[in-house]
């Protein structure tokens, strides 16, 4: 199991020791999540509609990759950004720029949206009712209670009659302690990278994780041993 710092160390090891570029790691992570989500779907891809909520960091970048692969599989996809396009950088920005060439709606979350507006933006995708919501908002590095606008988005997503998928871990759940915040994304499925997180052992985390699957990012298995040096 990995702590918050060990997650960072695993990425750094994959890049620095094994020579795998960060953009490749992000691609592998996002593609793995998309494939896992599709494996849970009981209806044809063209009848699905998936909302992907993308935060400002690499977790959001993973969401862009997920959106692209779902779109390529025939799923109706809508992406909601929780940062301005100009504020993205690195691998996340590369994937956002690529996604803008695809024929799918990408909208910027507006702090002025009231509950009714959030519900309407989240609830429909190209005249189809949303069936999945993907949480790519806050990653393992997040601490404390989610602030605006994330708490409103999480609250609305949790109230929707949909399937919910968390990338790496649900937003609002602490990676190390497993303690949920007052507002925490309640996933039915969590696709976590490299290894389960230490906080997942906390019984309080169980209701928010749903079914947990470990997704490889293209690095060899010994990456876990290197990221978890002996005490």
| Structure confidence by residue, pLDDT tens digits, 32-68 | 999 999 998 876 777 789 999 999 999 999 999 999 9
Q: Which helix H or strand E contains 29, and what residues bound it? A: helix 22-40
pLDDT at position 42 is 74
pLDDT at position 59 is 94
**126 CB-near residues (< 8 Å, 6+ apart):** 49, 76, 78, 105
The SS3 call for residue 207 is helix
End-to-end CA distance of the chain: 14
Q: How many domains does the chain have?
A: 1
- What φ, ψ does residue 77 adopt, rounded to 5°? -130, 140
The 10s digit of each residue's pLDDT in 67-103 is: 999 999 999 999 999 988 788 999 999 999 999 999 9
Radius of gyration of the chain (CA): 17
pLDDT at position 231 is 52
**83 CB-near residues (< 8 Å, 6+ apart):** 55, 56, 60
Cα–Cα distance for residue pair 59/18, rounded to 1 Å:
22
Mean pLDDT of 106-131: 92
**Domain extent for 117:** 4-227
pLDDT at position 84 is 83
CATH code of the domain containing 176:
3.40.50.10260
Q: Got the DSSP string for 171-205? A: TTB-TTT-PBPSS----SEEEEESS-BGGGGSGGG
Find out whether 103 and 76 touch, Cβ atoms under 8 Å: no
Distances in whole angstroms, Cα of residue 89 to Cα of each of 3, 83, 92, 93, 193:
25, 11, 6, 5, 21
pTM: 0.94
CA dihedral 165, 169, 170, 176 (to 10 degrees): 160
- Please determine, for residue 229, whether its predicted confidence score (pLDDT) is greater than 90: no
């Amino acid at each position: 199991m990995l702590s918050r710092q060990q997650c960072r160390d695993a990425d750094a090891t994959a890049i620095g020791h094994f020579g795998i570029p960060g953009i490749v790691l992000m691609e592998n992570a996002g593609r793995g999540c998309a494939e896992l989500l599709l494996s849970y779907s009981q209806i044809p891809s063209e009848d699905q509609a998936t909302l992907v909520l993308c935060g400002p960091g690499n977790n959001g970048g993973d969401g862009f990759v997920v959106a692209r692969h779902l779109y390529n599989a025939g799923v109706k996809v809508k992406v909601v950004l929780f940062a301005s396009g100009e504020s993205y950088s690195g691998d996340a920005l590369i994937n956002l720029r690529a996604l803008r060439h695809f024929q799918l709606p990408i909208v910027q979350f507006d702090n002025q949206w009231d509950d009714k507006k959030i519900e309407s933006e989240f609830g429909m995708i190209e005249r189809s009712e949303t069936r999945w919501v993907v949480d790519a908002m806050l990653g393992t590095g997040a601490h404390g209670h989610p602030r605006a606008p994330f708490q409103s988005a999480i609250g609305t997503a949790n109230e929707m009659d949909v399937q919910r998928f968390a990338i790496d871990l649900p937003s609002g759940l602490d990676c190390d302690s497993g303690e949920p915040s007052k507002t925490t994304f309640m996933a039915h499925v969590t696709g976590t990278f490299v290894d389960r997180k230490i906080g997942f052992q906390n019984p309080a985390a169980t209701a928010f994780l749903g079914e947990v699957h470990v997704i490889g990012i293209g690095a060899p298995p010994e990456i876990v041993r290197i990221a978890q040096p002996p005490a």
